[in-house]
Each structure stands twice: as C-alpha cells, then as structure tokens.
Chains A and B, each alone.
Chain A
Amino acid sequence: MSLNNLDQLYRSVIMDHYKKPRNKGALEGSNVTIDMNNPTCGDRIRLTLQVNDGIVEDAKFDGEGCSISMSSASMMTQIIKGKTADEAQKLAHIFSDMMLGKDYDDSIDLGDVEALSGVSKFPARIKCATLAWKAMEKGVQDESENK
C-alpha cells in the first residue's frame, strides 16, 4: 500500500485543521458574504468576512466538503485575518502558484498553509484546496470594487 504517498497529501497539520476547524461558522456583523461550490463534486462553502478600510479584520467559513477543502478553508481564514485586501489577493495568487506546482513567492510566511503544498501532486484534489481561496479572492475583490 502506498501510504507514504498519502502522507504527502494528508499531512498532520491538515488533518488537525479538518478535525478542529478554525473560524468555523457564520461571522456576525460581516459585510462580505460569498457562496461558492464545486459543481463537479458538491463541495460548498460560505465565507463571511469583515472588511474595514481595506483590511480583512475577521473571517469565518461554513460548508461541507472533504478534508482538503475544509482544512484549506480553515487555514485560509486563519492567515488572512489582519491582512490588507492587497495582501489577501497576493496570498491567493501565491496559493494558486503553489497548487500548480510552480515556484511561489516565499517572502510572506505562509504558516500552516505550507502543509497544503503536497496537494499539487494530486491533480484531482487541487480544486478541493482552491475553493475557499477563490471565494476569498472574489469577496475581497467585490468589496474593493464597491468602494
């Protein structure tokens, strides 16, 4: 059994986020709500953000999905808190590069998110990992366009 390969995907940090998701639920007083789903598999997420003066002050997520999509959402909400809208967008780009297996900008400390880099070796699971990040990117973009 190729369990060593599986360990590249299911790193302990990922399983920890899946088991104990951070920032799960609906954010009270949020001013950005984004619903997104993955039509090929049924995973869905609702992301609620509090964005003030171009800063993501708080973030929560709710939804249903596999370990990769839910842990990725948990990690994403953790890292974007306190970031500016520009930094959040930049993180989304870095994450996208990471998923595509490209060299990515390592000037920002990614913390737990780094553990998801192994997903790039599992092409069928990349969409699971990017769902929450796409929701965040859209939310931050919509918010800045409304200004």
Chain B
Amino acid sequence: MIKDDIRSYFPILNQEINGHPLVYLDSAATSQKPIQVIEAIKNYYEFENSNVHRGVHTLGNRATDSYEGSREKVRKFIHAKSTEEIIFTRGTTTALNIVAQSYGRANVGEGDEIVITYMEHHSNLIPWQQLAKEKGATLKYIDLESDGTLSLDKVRETITDKTKIVSLTFASNVLGTINPIKEIAAIAHEHGAVLVVDGAQGVPHFKTDVQDLDCDFLAFSGHKMCGPTGIGVLYGKKAHLENMDPVEFGGEMIDFVGLYESTWKELPWKFEGGTPIIAGAIGLGAAIDFLQEIGLDTIEKHEHTLSRYTMDQMHTIEGLTMYGPHDPAKRSGLVTFNLDDVHPHDVATVLDMNGIAVRAGHHCAQPLMKWLQCTATARASFYVYNNEEDIDRLVAGLRTAKEYFADVFE
C-alpha cells in the first residue's frame, strides 16, 4: 500500500539546499527515485547479479527472470500485445535513433517526406534531419498554433502520400502541450506513413495505451518516471520490428554465427546486442509498480491540479510571461516562463539560492525557442511528489528575483 505522504518515499527530498528545504521542480529533466526503486536495484546487485540468457546456474536464471519480468511489466504498462514488441534501450534518444537508422533507412528514399513539428526535442529532430540528408528526403514541419498546440487541419495539410514517417512528441517538454496522437496516427495511416511517438514527457504522466493510440513506434525513458538513468524502451508493432534489421551487432543478439554469415535471435532480443541494462530494467520494473500503485489517473489529475494552481499564482506576478496552452487541462505538468527582462539563468540562480531547482535554458529545443522568439526560458516541472507548498515557495522565490533585479531594469 502506498502511503498518502508520497514524498516520504523519496529520500532525496529530505535535505536542505543552500540552507532551505529542497523544492525539486525539474522532473521533466529527470525525476527523483523512490526508495522502492533504489532497493530493487540494490537487491539485484546483492542477491541476483549475473548475466542473462546464458547461464545454466541459478543466479543466471534469477537475473533472467527479473529482467524479462520487467519487460512484461512494461508491456502491461503501455498495453502492448506482446513482449516481443518491447525493446530495452539506453533511453528515448537511442530508441528514436533505432527507428531512424533501421526502419528509416529501409523505408525512406529520395523525394520522400519525413514530417515532424516545431515542438520537438532535439532527440526527435536530429535523427530525422540526418536521415533526410542521407536519403535526399524532405524534412517537413507541422506549424504550431499561436498557443503552442497542433491543429489537425495543419496536420492534414502537411502529411501527403509522399510522407513515409511522421514523428512527434506525446507532450512538449517546453510548452506542456499534449498532442492528439490517436487522430494523427489515423491521418498518417491514411497516407501509408508510420507514426513514431516520442513519449519521454507523456508515458510518465498519463495512461498510455499503444493499441488504442495505434502508434507504430513509441519511445520513452525510465529516468523520467521514477526509474534509473540508462534504461529506456522502444515499443514497435511486431509487423514492423520483424522486418527491421538490428543496428547493433555482437553478443546476445545472434542466433547462429558463421565465418561469413550470421542470423539473428527472434524479437525482441535481436535489437539488444551486448549484455543488456539488467539492473536498469529491474529498476524500471520497480518504478512501474510504484506508479501503478498510485495510479496513472491519480498522477495525471495531481499534475493538472498543480499546473492550474501554478498558472493561477503566476498570473499574479506582474511581468511574468507563460508559454504554451492557456488551458491547464490541455497541458502536462510543467510551466515554462520568463520574468520581465531577467535572464532565466539569473532567475534560476536566485531560486537555487532559495533551495528551488528549476531548469533554465533552451531545453534541447532550439527551433522551438526560435518559434517562441526567445533564446531561453525557465521551466518548473512537476511530478507525484510535488505539492502546493512547493509552488508557493516557487512563487515567493520569483517575487524575490523580481525585487532583486528590479533596480537593474527600472
């Protein structure tokens, strides 16, 4: 049973930073880890550590059971049909690169189109930029509405019969916009294109059902959902994955190796060359257990409440600009903003001196910063362990920053 005081599960929150109790508002960069995840990794190293899929010995079986058990947890979590469709990767970036380098190279040719949006994180932009350059394909961007949302009309205008891949984020790491994945998947499929979803900012925050969304690929990271760093997931429809070549070759992923020819293991292992990220996968499994015990609907509701509260409070600060959809119900749990002419780095330093951790910079989304016509912004992002007191501290910190820099810009 998860206690009501969810914060008590996160040992890191119980400390002072620069003389103040820590307020962690940077979960979109990486989330904190509950004791259950830390213990699961510790337990693996203390009692199960050995290599998977090869040993005859008992420890090897234990490790394999735990590792493959996590795969089944991931399958259930995103409602995939089979564990054959769940590939463990280093993170979202690696997962998206596998799609670009394997599916992309085989299916995109000269004159074809790849469609993305202006709100993509660099990890869902550069792999497609590189693929387009390599193949002589065209990279097209779906324009955004003035509030940072996508209109389905513009999606329809941009995707054509030449489009082979549509790739977009589930939720924007800057604007907080949640995109209509299911509708866009349908449009992509009408034109014979596949839909790739960057789920890094979505999967941790609301219920994800890949069969309902009907996306072809979904990538996400463990560390943004209470899991450890270095583990992520690529989901792909079996029909696609079966026809795709591995991008990494070596141990673990082979079936038969000859002097001049080799064959690959069946799915999903043909994409997992080398000793896999065993402890990471086990940690991710524990994180999924933790999130499911709280309930994804509860998490989503909690974040909406915090976003609404934050936006209401921030509206009372004169000179503060917020970016993204105005309606908190259309946003994930983050608020990106700028305070007057104070540079976001300076805002973040003042907040840090008050024990408050926020992100400042371009958030790995330089084309989006250009679209917003700013070079940098500050961002507060929430997760299960944040509460209204954290927001009150943030707002007080912002008022301090405003006062502190007031005479500079008078």
Contact = CB atoms under 8 A, between A and B. Distances in A.
Interface residues of B, number: 24
Interface residues of A, number: 24
B360 interface: yes
B349 A42 contact: no
Given A10-B404, A44-B375, A2 B354 contact: yes
A67 B400 contact: no
B362 A42 contact: yes
Contacts of B344: 66
A68 B400 contact: no
Contact of B354 (A1, A10, A19): A1
Interface string A32-65: 0000000011111000000000000000000011
Contact of B345 (A1, A15, A44, A128): A128
Contacts of B376: 41-43
A64 B376 CA distance: 10
A67 B350 CA distance: 12
Contacts of A43: 345, 375-376
A41 to B, nearest CB: 4
A18 interface: yes
A67 B408 contact: yes
A125 interface: yes
B404 A3 contact: yes
Nearest to A15: B408
A124 B349 contact: yes
Contact of A42 (B346, B361, B409): B361
Interface string B38-55: 000000000000000000
Interface string B329-372: 00000000000000111100110111000001110001001000
B18 A5 contact: yes
A42 B409 CA distance: 22
A41 B345 contact: yes
Interface of A: 1-3, 5-6, 9-10, 15, 18-19, 40-44, 64-68, 122, 124-125, 128
Interface of B: 18-20, 343-346, 349-350, 352-354, 360-362, 366, 369, 375-376, 400, 404, 407-409
26 contacts: A1-B353, A1-B354, A2-B18, A2-B19, A2-B354, A3-B353, A6-B353, A6-B404, A9-B349, A10-B404, A15-B407, A15-B408, A18-B408, A19-B408, A41-B362, A42-B369, A42-B376, A43-B375, A66-B344, A66-B346, A67-B343, A67-B345, A67-B346, A68-B346, A125-B345, A128-B345
